[in-house]
Amino acid sequence: MTGERPGGPFVDQVTAGPGGAMTDDVGVITGDLTVATAALPGGKARVDVQYTGAEEWYTLTGSPVPVPGDGLAALHGRVLARIREGGAAEVPR
Nearest to 21 by CA among 40, 44, 41, 47: 47
Q: What b-and-e string marks burial along 69-78, b requiring 16 or more CB atoms within 10 Å of the CB? A: eeebeebbeb
**Residue 1 pLDDT > 50:** no
Q: What are phi and psi for residue 78, nearest 5 degrees?
A: -70, -35
The percent of residues above 70 in pLDDT, for the chain, comes to 91
Ranges of each domain in the chain = 10-85
- Position 93 scores a pLDDT of 85
pLDDT confidence bin for 13, thresholds 50/70/90? very high
Q: What is the pLDDT of residues 16-28, one digit of tens each?
A: 999 999 999 999 9
| Pairing of β 27-29 and β 44-51 | unpaired
Nearest to 35 by CA among 4, 10, 62: 10
**Residue 4 pLDDT > 80:** no
- Position 8 scores a pLDDT of 54
Q: What is the pLDDT of residues 33-75, one digit of tens each?
A: 999 999 999 999 999 999 999 999 999 999 999 999 999 999 9
Q: Give the Cα separation of 52 and 35 in Å (integer).
A: 9
